[in-house]
A and B are shown apart, each in its own frame.
Chain A
Amino acid sequence: MSEETTNSGEPVRVPFMQRVLDNPFILLFIGIVFPTLFYIIWGIMEIVNIPIAP
């Protein structure tokens, strides 16, 4: 999948970043994991760690 052929039939390597940008499901993964980790999980950990008032 990462290989495409030119007119002459020679395989060319598609650059890594282009392969990422061409794959909607990798992008979907990044777009969900980043905010879930840095915003939701990290934020919730902080709230959970607030001590309960006696």
Chain B
Amino acid sequence: MSDNQFRICPESGLQFHKPAEMLMRAHAVVAVVILLIGGIAALLVTLTRWPAIHLLPADRFYQLLTMHGTNMLIFWMISFEIAVLYFCSSTLLRCRLATPRIAWLGFALMLIGIIVNNAAVASGTASVMMTSYVPMPANPNFYLGLILFAVGALIGCFVFLATLVVAKDEKTYEGSIPLVTFGALTACIIAVFTIASGAIVLIPTWLWSLGYINHIDAAMYRIVWWALGHSSQQINVAAHVAVWYAIAAIVFGARPLSEKVSRVAFFLYIAFLQLASAHHLLVDPGLSAEWKIFNTSYAMYLAVLASMVHGLTVPGSIEVAQRAKGLTNGLFEWLRKAPWGNPIFSGMFISLIGFGFIGGISGVVMGTEQINIIIHNTIYVPGHFHATVVIGSTLAFMSLTYFLIPTLFRKQVAFPGLAKWQPYLFGIGMSSFTLAMMGAGTLGVERRHWDMAFTNSALGFEYPASAFTLMGIMGISGVVAILGGAIFILVTVVSVFFGKSVESESSYGISATRLMRADPVVVPEGGHGAAGKWGFAAPGTFVLALFFLAIFVLYYAVNWKYLASVWPMS
């Protein structure tokens, strides 16, 4: 192994293995291109669901909804995540990437899969939406594209695992792997289960679409498909939580309040998060209440507990780090004086708050068998998951990208003024978009529905005017969020392909060496409480957590009350 295989980034101290670096760049670039395609589809879909505009005809609407769902949820997220996996293994463990050639094979398969799938959808013969429920048939290439992509991504996961083995053998780190890498490992493990389930369900479906198999049971399909559909969201959650920890370390030099607690929380994800797939089947006949309740309530609450631990320890660790720097006045000086103009931080913090308050709380409501029925299959559902996967994961990945532009791509961030505003436009636009959807869903507006006015339909239904207003607010906020997304793409593309190289200094980022250690000793000088108040190391975060809990309990109770009123029993 020659030494010139590595380069050290002068700003961050990160060490990049050159073949790994090329792979990360390739995956990140493909991811952003997909985000652009998915974003254009988002605009057209949004303008159709905005009742005053109602842009597309029905068939185009379903075609673009399919294109939006698969590109965003599967291709954008997983392509970016493979780059994150390579970063968290090779770069953070300062070791060579195992088998770069095989990793390139995985990349090629993913890329071919994306093209094959998109071509099928573009031809208009695969408007089955991302769930592609049987017996609704799609062009066989729709499934083939997904299968090729899945195999490619699985190869990426195994390259990641192999790199962990290489690092251990070559002793490039001591003790345990760093927490951020542990988070990436969690994402990788969930990905292996997800992708395997995808293969189990999609290969027979592909053969069925070709005529080699004559029947696929719809109920079976739904069980196995949701092991893919739900778990893939949990790859995103594990990955964006790892990114939160990374950014807290990058921007503040923060260390986790307790490595042990954070690792156990990730462990709860590994063991229980995927079982919550059952919440998609809460109204399916044929499955028992025991199966539903065990998987959604018991298992899911352990996973929710883990998310609350992360949601507490990330801001808590930032608070402790800020207090140690002397920002000790009152409860919130540490937060007020945080670098709100730095999109790496602002994006990450909006991601954390939006994921917790909007995505998390609505997720628990939807995962509760009884109250789920109020909003099942309404537009509340996309409201919930745009809060998790868009405000949570996508915005966290955008923030990380602002760090990767100078360190991985060695370019200065173009249009820094626009970049500064981007997380706010995207995050606030999306927050209002999701809340409006959740409001409309509570009034019963369906998801995936081309015309909520039911014009000329035999079995019509009239929604209250407020439902139309909420859908209008959804449309306006969606356009604002898309503008934020467009700025992100503009900034990254211009920086990466046309930007000025970074010479000795860049505007963002401080030493990232903290990322590379597992800290067994986490107590700062003088103990955790030293800079805190009233015996708490992070009193501000504690107050935030109580506020969160109050809203959570209130909203949960309101839903039960509402259930009692929509479902009178005498």
Contact = CB atoms under 8 A, between A and B. Distances in A.
Which residue, A39, A40, A44, has most C-beta atoms of chain B within 10 A?
A39
Which DSSP category, helix, strand, loop or mixed, fits chain B's interface? helix
Given A44-B220, A44-B223, A50-B286, A39 B275 contact: yes
Interface residues of A, number: 24
Nearest to A36: B193
A17 B508 CA distance: 38
Interface in A1-52: 17-18, 20-22, 24-25, 27-28, 30-32, 34-36, 38-40, 42-44, 46-47, 50
Interface residues of B, number: 38
A24 B271 contact: no
A38 B271 CA distance: 11
Given A39-B227, A39-B277, A47-B223, A31 B288 contact: no
Nearest to A40: B227
Contact of B274 (A21, A24, A35): A35
B47 interface: no
A43 B272 CA distance: 16
B291 interface: yes
Contacts of A31: 186, 189-190, 192-193, 270-271, 274
Given A24-B185, A40-B223, A35 B275 contact: yes
Nearest to A29: B189
A47 B224 CA distance: 12
B118 interface: no
Contacts of A25: 161
Nearest to A43: B223
B194 to A, nearest CB: 9
Nearest to A47: B219
B97 to A, nearest CB: 16
B282 to A, nearest CB: 12
Contacts of A46: 286-288, 291
Contacts of A18: 176
B192 A35 contact: no
A40 B294 CA distance: 13
B263 interface: yes
A-B pairs with the 3 shortest C-beta distances?
A31-B189, A35-B274, A31-B270
Given A21-B267, A39-B277, 18 more contacts: A21-B176, A21-B263, A27-B185, A27-B267, A28-B161, A31-B189, A31-B270, A32-B193, A32-B196, A35-B227, A35-B231, A35-B277, A38-B295, A39-B227, A44-B220, A44-B223, A46-B287, A47-B217
